[in-house]
Chains A and B, each alone.
Chain A
Amino acid sequence: MNVFNIVIAGVGGQGVLMASKVLAESALAGGLDAKQNEVHGMAQRGGSVISFVRIGEKVHSPVVTPGTADMLISFEPLEALRYAHYLKPGGILVYNTVTINPSTVASGMAVYPADVEEQIARVRPDARGFDALAVAKEAGNAKAVNMVMVGAVMADLPLDPAIVTGVVGEISKGKGVEVNLRALAGGAAA
């Protein structure tokens, strides 16, 4: 198989890294090679976060270059727009429609584009957006947006959904297991 390139985008604190970990661990559990990489540090303070997961028989670089992603999962619409150019032609874009203001908007220095979803549709006509926060709350925790998003793309991954579900079960802590599994299923049904 060719290397399958995934880009996960979001805002510091949204659990982008946990979602990346699930995908990379699932690849390993499925007998494949994987590399996963993101930018830490200052990005944790409410900044834009971008993470790469690459899955295949043999993966060299941990970096996905623009124009080569098979899939972009964005936890926030503005971030979907910011990283849409990472997708290759025909790549899949799935995003959470719930917006989070950047500090530049919160301080009145910039305006959040009111037509963000229309702009995404112009760039990627087949992009799929949905309210992942509502699904996460339904599952029992607003912070489970990350697992909802993994659930939403599960059918399009080169991985067995049963393996992904197993990995989520394994790495979730304590009471989080049930919430995360519900969030995953909720995302898959969304």
Chain B
Amino acid sequence: MRNIISGNEAIALSFSDSGGVFASGYPGTPSTETLEEVARLGRVYCEWAPNEKVALEAAIGASIAGGRALATMKHVGVNVAADALLTLTYTGVNAGLVLMVADDPAMPSSQNEQDSRNYAKFAKVPLLDPADSQEAYDFVREGFDLSERFDTPVMLRTTTRISHAKGVVTPRERIEPKIAPWARDVPKYVMLPNFARIRHVTVEERLLALQEFAETTSLNRVEPRDRSLGIIASGVCYQHVMEACPTASVLKLGLAHPLPAGKIREFAGAVDRLMIVEEMDGIFEEQIRAMGIRVDIGKDKIPLCGEVSADIIRAAIGESVAVATSPVENLPQRPPTFCPGCAHRGLFTILSKLKAFVSGDIGCYTLGALPPMNAMHSCICMGASVSAAHGMAKVNEIAERSEKPVAVIGDSTFFHSGMTGLLSMAYNNPNALVVIMDNRTTGMTGGQENPGSGKLLQGSEARQVDMVTLVKALGIDQVAEFNSYHLAEAEAAIRKGLETPGPYVLIDKNPCILRYRVQRPIRVVNQDACTGCRACLKVACVALGLTAGGEKPKVRIDPNICNGCSVCAQLCKFDAISES
């Protein structure tokens, strides 16, 4: 039956249809829905891991034990899992193993724009690059076949426009899962130097065999059309090429690593001008130039940053791009912001007031860096809030500065990789404050379960890890809870944390209002009492607004949007905001 589904849903469906046995991953846009869909389909065991390294390692274990395994993550997740990946390539697999990684060109939801194809080259593993939902479906099955045939992990790489774009998919005949014998093969799976030296040779031989395969596989196909222009592309770039240059000849690469040198040489020789269209890095171009093949149009015209579009391709071949009208200028921006009623609003209102240096982390709370809060001063990667605050504290100590850095991190990010940083704090004793916003969900990616939420991926009951117990177990003695909705209490707690020497942890346990559907009585502004001083507007809540007209417009609260948290009311010196 034909469905119109996203690339992520197609991958999940194909995994369930292709003898999949075990899936694990960590939420991360744009990869998240893949594992959620495996759970919704309900045919294959799947779970959230606390981070991507754990997810991939669990998938390796599943493969060794004989079950086809899938690990899912976003591009930066592979950095976390890279330690496992770079040696997994040596051991190879028992049952097939596919690592699905979702890149995020133009970064609608990421902290960098890294190109995962580099990892395939680095790890010397095959990489499949689907161009739509149907290929996403087909390439999962192809990936398992390749994995088992060549004894290798296979990377299945998507980009945001593949993961989230919906297209028509016709599923194939379902393959029942078969569990292979649990492999006991010491020289293959125990990577002591003596065994690893032998396996490295195997890796190089495998890559040569894969190169031969790349020459003949239907994954890489030539679409001969007009010979004056030949274009090499993979993934969503192929679709943009088809929009921009429907008459050009195309070499479409489904297997984006290793490249078919012979096929490329033949294609290049058959066209007048050769163009390479690839998003982000010039990985194909670099390799194709190294083969001694002339590239006429490539990264000189196709940007290294951001997304490729049909218009960019048209401009690159010198076609004029029709611009109907230019965008209307000077409109108020509409950036993402804390939800009305979010617990982070109170915390950042206080941190902004105290002018503390905030070492931030990945999650909804990163939005605290934006105006008018301006209350975050660094944010690098998952877990870095704690470790970076530690480093700052040590330099402060050396420089004899009294200021104490504040790390802000959420529960899921803390479980992911904040815990080890905090262990270092317990061990190395910095003068730093850590605030854990334990809202019991993985909020920014849409509210996924985690070890602190008390629920499994499927929604069934699970052991709920207690944050205070965990922090104490890591060796931190000074731990206190606070309530960020109560500004005076929160300020007193944070001041105490800043004034007490040594590592200090504050935990806010208010749940995510979006995930847990919290609604408190909404607030109203007494228009007679409001002086229009705008003190409440500092909380940056979209429920607030100024009434039109007048010399000093007054504040009103939109009853359709207010969540009743009362943080704005606590900033009003004239008691003009109350429960309705």
Residues on A lying within 8 angstroms of B by beta carbon are 11-12, 21, 24-25, 27-28, 33-48, 59-63, 65-68, 78-79, 81-82, 84-85, 87-89, 100-114, 119, 123, 142
A101 touching B328 by the CB < 8 A rule? no
Least CB distance from A115 to B in Å reads 11
B164 touching A104 by the CB < 8 A rule? no
Q: Which of B325, B326, B339, B543 has the most CB of A within 10 A?
A: B325
B537 touching A24 by the CB < 8 A rule? no
Over the window 300-319 of chain B, the binary record of Cβ atoms lying under 8 Å from chain A Cβ atoms (1 yes, 0 no) is: 00000000011100000000
Q: Pick the contact of A85: B161, B325, B333, B534 (CB < 8 A).
A: B325
A12 touching B336 by the CB < 8 A rule? yes
Known: A41-B444, A63-B161. A106 touches B310 (CB 8 A): no
Q: Pick the contact of B364: A45, A48, A79, A82 (CB < 8 A).
A: A45
B558 sits at the interface (CB 8 A): yes
Measured CA separation A25–B558 after assembly (Å): 34
Known: A34-B4, A38-B164, A66-B323. A102 touches B109 (CB 8 A): no
B19 sits at the interface (CB 8 A): no
Q: Pick the contact of A47: B168, B336, B537 (CB < 8 A).
A: B336
A-contacting 9-mer, from B34-42, B236-244, B431-439: B236-244
Cβ contacts A to B, 7 pairs, < 8 Å: A27-B4, A41-B444, A62-B167, A89-B324, A103-B334, A107-B537, A113-B331
Known: A37-B164, A63-B161. A102 touches B537 (CB 8 A): no
A82 touching B331 by the CB < 8 A rule? yes
B419 sits at the interface (CB 8 A): no
A85 touching B328 by the CB < 8 A rule? yes
Query: For the side of the interface on B, what is the size category?
Result: 35 or more
A-side interface mostly: mixed
Nearest-neighbor residue (CB-CB) of B163 within chain A:
A40
Nearest-neighbor residue (CB-CB) of A122 within chain B:
B328
A67 touching B325 by the CB < 8 A rule? yes
B240 touching A61 by the CB < 8 A rule? yes
Nearest-neighbor residue (CB-CB) of A83 within chain B:
B327
B446 contact set on A, CB distance < 8 A:
40, 44
Measured CA separation A47–B334 after assembly (Å): 5
B483 sits at the interface (CB 8 A): no
Measured CA separation A28–B4 after assembly (Å): 7
Known: A12-B336, A113-B331. A41 touches B29 (CB 8 A): yes
Least CB distance from B374 to A in Å reads 11
Given contacts A61-B242, A102-B333, A108-B372, 14 further A-B contacts (CB under 8 A): A34-B4, A37-B166, A40-B30, A40-B109, A46-B339, A65-B309, A79-B334, A82-B334, A101-B542, A103-B334, A103-B542, A106-B540, A108-B537, A123-B328
Measured CA separation A78–B161 after assembly (Å): 25
B541 touching A106 by the CB < 8 A rule? yes
B332 touching A66 by the CB < 8 A rule? no
Chain B, range 206-234, C-beta contacts under 8 Å to A: none
B328 contact set on A, CB distance < 8 A:
81-82, 84-85, 119, 123
A41 touching B445 by the CB < 8 A rule? yes
B-side interface mostly: loop
A48 contact set on B, CB distance < 8 A:
334
B292 sits at the interface (CB 8 A): no
Q: Please name the 5 residue pairs, one residue from A and one from B, whose CB atoms are nearest each other, closest first.
A: A41-B109, A67-B324, A62-B165, A110-B332, A47-B336
B336 touching A61 by the CB < 8 A rule? no
A78 touching B334 by the CB < 8 A rule? yes
B338 sits at the interface (CB 8 A): yes
B243 contact set on A, CB distance < 8 A:
60-61
B325 contact set on A, CB distance < 8 A:
67, 84-85, 87, 123
Measured CA separation A21–B325 after assembly (Å): 28
Q: Which of A25, A61, A102 has the most CB of B within 10 A?
A: A61
Least CB distance from B567 to A in Å reads 13
A27 contact set on B, CB distance < 8 A:
4
Measured CA separation A26–B327 after assembly (Å): 30
A104 touching B560 by the CB < 8 A rule? no
B310 contact set on A, CB distance < 8 A:
61, 63, 65
A88 contact set on B, CB distance < 8 A:
324
Measured CA separation A63–B561 after assembly (Å): 31
A45 touching B339 by the CB < 8 A rule? yes
Least CB distance from B441 to A in Å reads 13
A107 touching B540 by the CB < 8 A rule? yes
Measured CA separation A82–B329 after assembly (Å): 8
Chain B, range 538-559, C-beta contacts under 8 Å to A: 538-546, 548, 558
B3 contact set on A, CB distance < 8 A:
28
Q: Which of A42, A102, A113 has the most CB of B within 10 A?
A: A42
A111 contact set on B, CB distance < 8 A:
332
B114 sits at the interface (CB 8 A): no
Least CB distance from B32 to A in Å reads 8
B378 sits at the interface (CB 8 A): no
Over the window 553-575 of chain B, the binary record of Cβ atoms lying under 8 Å from chain A Cβ atoms (1 yes, 0 no) is: 00000101100000000000000
Chain B, range 1-20, C-beta contacts under 8 Å to A: 2-4
Over the window 337-381 of chain B, the binary record of Cβ atoms lying under 8 Å from chain A Cβ atoms (1 yes, 0 no) is: 111000000000000000000000000100100011000000000
Nearest-neighbor residue (CB-CB) of A119 within chain B:
B328
